[in-house]
Structure 1
Amino acid sequence: MKKYIIILTLPFLLAGCRTSDDVNSDPHASYDTQPEPLLTYAQKELSDYLTTPSVNENNTRLIMQYWQETIYVNESNYDFTNRNVSNNVWRDNYVNVLKNLDQASKIITAYVPTFAEAAAWPAKRDNQLAILDLMKAYTFQVLVDTYGDIPYTEALDNDKYPLPKYDKASMIYTDLITKVSADVNKLSTTGGTFGNGDIFYKGDISKWKKFGNSLLLKLGIALADINPTLAQNTVSQAIAGGVLASSADDCKFQYLAASPNQSPIYLETASRDDFIGGKTLVDYMNDTNDTRITKYYSDVDGEYIGQVIGAPGDFSSFSNAGSFAYTSTTPGVILSYTEVVFYLAEAAARWGIGGAPAALYNTAVTSSFTDWGLAADAATYLAAHPYDASNWKKSIGEQAWVAMYNQAVTSWNFYRRLDYPQLIAPATAIPNAGGKVPVRLQYPPLESTTNGTNYAAASVAIGGDKLTTKIFWDIN
């Protein structure tokens, strides 16, 4: 991983960026800047990764059977090596996101305030460092949930650790919970922030506090089956601290109408006919009379038709993505209120904390309808599809799957944790998938060649570097 110094640091409002693949170049040379543009760029890169449907970077829309490829169906059949997908995911998150956040932290820590700034600087510094830490924690969780054991304690110091060791995923989770808890406590509404350099919340500390507590909730609920004591304690702490309370608290990255800052979904769909609706979700929504289908997909002569997973299909014969995917300003969603309420419903179902499961389930589903401008349809849908306490994993799992349609990375977590929906791999899937829907990505081939000893040790530790090797918290 660390043989490559690929640092992208210019603010997203600029058209270009400088990169370097020269291992002999100064890794700090491109960091001669202020922390605000580093934060801005990292936020855009994180949003781009979570949002893009590019088969070179993020195939979770295909894994979750929301979409299907039209002609070249390698990725729909879980061939992620042909396009070096794992190398790109690794680079996107470690270099483009985490390394920029880490350098911003170093700049802030080293800054010596002027006499006029001195009194207000400690509070502003602590707020800025806490925000950067929360984003780091979010990104590290994404990486753990994608690969399992990963470089963590040695990951971002290229000079000291050019070949970083891999840390145990369970240890990383425990450390992230500790750090996020501390970061939330450090945030002060009376201190300064990054201001408009913070695209997510424009420096609103009250919303960053809710984000931090919601991230704690997300971390805690992921551990529900593997470490229920830590999970429940973390979830209870998050709820007490105050999580996202409405869609107004959603953490989003707002894209712009003009190039080069358009939505990555739009960039992949506007000029290409590469994706059509996946039969699994399209059929489910047709069968449940779900009006969100009118927003998720386009119709074909008044009908919604999805293609069999793994099979190619003509663009004009099947439903395409809805108009949101052809809109340049569609925001990227990092963490949503709808997502948070599904976590609360799950916590209530598991442990009886945070509220009544059925009421929270209703709120989560209603929030999803509202997100798509269909609030008036939610009550009718819920009347036909009420919460089932006897099989709450099915109720929450299937409805979270539908609701997380535009948060496919998050949807993959719900699926692996709750085992619903019960997706079936296509018969044409590559042999490496073992006849199953992938539950992780394999480590990047680049790691096996440049950091081979640590890569080999990690592969053994997790039980094999395979698409079928479960992440440590996925024990059912």
Structure 2
Amino acid sequence: MKRILKRYICSLMVLPAVLATQSCTKNFDTLNIDPNASTTPTPALIFTKAQYDGTANMANLLLGTMQYTTSYNDVAGFGSKYILAQAQASAGVFSTAYTNEINELVEVLKAVGDAPDKVNLKAEARIWRVYCFSRLTDLYGDIPYSQAAQGYNQSIYKPAYDAQKDIYADLLKELDQAAQSLDAAKATFGSADLIYGGNTAKWKKFAYSLMLRCAMRMTKVDIAQAQTWATKAIAGGVIMDDADIAKVAYVGAGQNININPLALNLWNSDYIAVNGSSNIEGGKYQDVFINYLKANKDPRLGVVSIVYNGGNADTTSAIQKGMPATFNAKPADFVTYSEPNPKTVLLFASPRLVYTAAESYFLLAEASLRGWYSASSAQSLYENGVTAALRQWSIIAGSAGTISTAQINSYMNAHAFNNSGTTEQKLEQIYTQFWVGLFPDAQETFANYRRTGYPALTPNNYPGNATGGKIFRRMLYPISEQNLNPESYNAAVARQGPDEFLTRMWWDKQ
């Protein structure tokens, strides 16, 4: 045994020398270069990826919070039940954003720089960066912004959190400058731009539409600035036609990146069995959403919802039924509850709508009520918003989503604008239609719900919830921030308030 050990130890002593001899070759530089890597970034390719990532990074749990969906499974049902044990499920968007779309956009902007011939590339990257950051701050409040994703470039590994008030001021400034710098005579990202194919006129409308969204977000915290920026956005020109809707198209096959991310997530997490019974996470539509659609004879019911009847997907309105968010076990009649339609909501090849004409019209209706927009009445803007929201399902799903003109007119007649109501009653009508009209963009309806209080949802006081039976106001930061970036995290908490679900961010005031 001693002789064996002696030989083994000697061989270990010799091995490094042998390896060193073998590794030292005259082709050292060539052998240590990855032939598939580039030392020069290609902005167009990175921008494409940033668009995919920014569109895919959604807080899908908010579908439950906005009472569109629910689950009898406590883990999957966090969004509709606010289970304390699943609180960190809310941190996912934060963690994903900085390693993907935020980091990618920093690299795009660094690569294009201030070159005069790349002014459109810079502008479009700035506008998309505003979209990504605005969605992020609207979920968490104060977040890393001015120092974000600068570890590689500036060795900032513990970025400070910016106050949301300051973030919003810079987002609006970025949109203003980017929109004005767009130049139709200069180069664009072309086909690498998944949203508009480089069309600068449409990018300008998108920029001013995001400006309108951000401006209206500030109505309860800084009404003067809200009016200033909303007026500027309206003057610049916002999205009001279906042809200008900001959307990312998907081919629906091949790698996952080519599939509508919401459809793919819902499909894989719940509905892949296609039988209404073997739903992996126990998900169904929530009764609040389905009851609303049925009570209002909404033609979207048969577009978005099905019940598996004898193994077949049935869109008949009479049999649609939403599941309560109070269930903690699979009900015996689980198969009889409604779930997303595979031909529309779960369609892999459907586009992901980023900003719609319907949203613009609803926000403009409020602006009209406030006296900030005089070109159209609140009534006509409301009507345009409702009809645009009904039409857009044909954009999402083609013939399977098409709602006829007769159906649209019938629905509109039954939901005429309440001209004789108070301003508050009018706002409730506008933003209840906003809630049903922007589905399935739960993240935007969540933000608007916190600002306006509409629709008037009843919270779910489920046993073991983290909020005392209240709908939460923000998401929680990742635990990793407490461990890896404690100084910045603690400074943000000291300024904004406890890292808790009910802490209100800057624009979310009573």
TM range (shorter): 0.7 to 0.9
- Equivalent residues of 1:177, 1:219 under 8 A apart: yes
Where 2:466 maps in the other structure, the secondary structure is helix
- Work out which of the residue numbers 111, 116, 120 in structure 2 matches 1:122: 116
Deviation at 1:185, TM superposition (A): 0.3
- Work out which of the residue numbers 209, 219, 222 in structure 2 matches 1:227: 222
Deviation at 1:399, TM superposition (A): 0.6
**What TM-score, normalized to structure 2?**
0.81
In the comparison of the two structures, how many residue pairs are matched? Answer: 431
Aligned-partner Cα distance in 2 for 1:84–1:36: 34
- Equivalent residues of 1:434, 1:468 under 8 A apart: no
1:389-433 CA distances to partner (integer Å, 9 max, x unpaired)?
Answer: 411221112110000112111111121111011212222154421
Counterpart position of 1:381: 411
Amino acid aligned to 2:436: V
Counterpart position of 1:67: 69
- Equivalent residues of 1:130, 1:183 under 8 A apart: yes
Amino acid aligned to 2:348: S
Query: Is residue 264 from structure 1 mapped to residue 264 from structure 2 by the alignment?
Result: no
Deviation at 1:46, TM superposition (A): 1.2
List aligned pairs for 1:316-335, cutoff 5 A. 316-322=335-341, 323-335=343-355
- Cα gap change, 1:221 to 1:31, in 2 (>3 Å): farther
Aligned-partner Cα distance in 1 for 2:38–2:205: 33
Deviation at 1:350, TM superposition (A): 2.2
Counterpart position of 2:102: 98
- Cα gap change, 1:429 to 1:186, in 2 (>3 Å): farther
Deviation at 1:325, TM superposition (A): 2.8
- Equivalent residues of 2:91, 2:476 under 8 A apart: no
- Equivalent residues of 2:240, 2:358 under 8 A apart: no
Counterpart position of 2:454: 420
- Work out which of the residue numbers 490, 497, 502 in structure 2 matches 1:468: 502
Amino acid aligned to 2:426: W
Query: Is residue 306 from structure 1 mapped to residue 293 from structure 2 by the alignment?
Result: no
% same residue: 28
Deviation at 1:39, TM superposition (A): 0.6
Where 1:406 maps in the other structure, the secondary structure is coil
Counterpart position of 1:88: 92
1:204-245 CA distances to partner (integer Å, 9 max, x unpaired)?
Answer: 111101101111111111111111111111111111111112
Deviation at 1:69, TM superposition (A): 2.1
List aligned pairs for 1:385-424, cutoff 5 A. 385-388=415-418, 389-390=421-422, 391-424=425-458
Amino acid aligned to 1:379: N
Counterpart position of 2:48: 40
Aligned-partner Cα distance in 2 for 1:212–1:431: 39
Aligned-partner Cα distance in 1 for 2:87–2:171: 31
Amino acid aligned to 1:271: I
- Work out which of the residue numbers 363, 377, 393 in structure 2 matches 1:343: 363
Deviation at 1:382, TM superposition (A): 2.2
Counterpart position of 1:243: 238
Counterpart position of 1:25: none
**What TM-score, normalized to structure 1?**
0.86
Counterpart position of 2:392: 371
Larger CA deviation: 367-376 vs 74-83: 74-83
Counterpart position of 1:22: none
Aligned-partner Cα distance in 1 for 2:345–2:296: 23
Aligned-partner Cα distance in 2 for 1:181–1:411: 25
Amino acid aligned to 1:328: F
Counterpart position of 1:359: 380
1:148-175 CA distances to partner (integer Å, 9 max, x unpaired)?
Answer: 1111111121143211111110111011
Amino acid aligned to 1:155: A
Where 1:298 maps in the other structure, the secondary structure is strand
Counterpart position of 2:190: 195
Aligned-partner Cα distance in 1 for 2:39–2:84: 32
State the Cα RMSD in Å.
2.0
- Work out which of the residue numbers 446, 453, 468 in structure 2 matches 1:434: 468
Aligned-partner Cα distance in 1 for 2:242–2:446: 22
Aligned-partner Cα distance in 1 for 2:84–2:362: 30
- Cα gap change, 1:105 to 1:399, in 2 (>3 Å): same
Larger-gyration structure (1/2): 2
Amino acid aligned to 1:374: I
Larger CA deviation: 348-357 vs 248-257: 348-357
- Cα gap change, 1:325 to 1:80, in 2 (>3 Å): farther
Task: List structure 1 runs of 4+ shifted beyond 4 angstroms.
Answer: 29-32, 312-315
Aligned-partner Cα distance in 2 for 1:169–1:31: 36
- Equivalent residues of 2:120, 2:183 under 8 A apart: yes
Amino acid aligned to 2:484: T
Amino acid aligned to 1:361: Y
Aligned-partner Cα distance in 2 for 1:343–1:105: 31
Aligned-partner Cα distance in 2 for 1:410–1:80: 24
- Cα gap change, 1:193 to 1:435, in 2 (>3 Å): same
Which runs of no fewer than 5 residues in structure 2 stay unpaired?
1-36, 274-278, 310-315, 394-401
Counterpart position of 2:299: 291
- Equivalent residues of 2:60, 2:442 under 8 A apart: no
Aligned-partner Cα distance in 2 for 1:95–1:473: 26
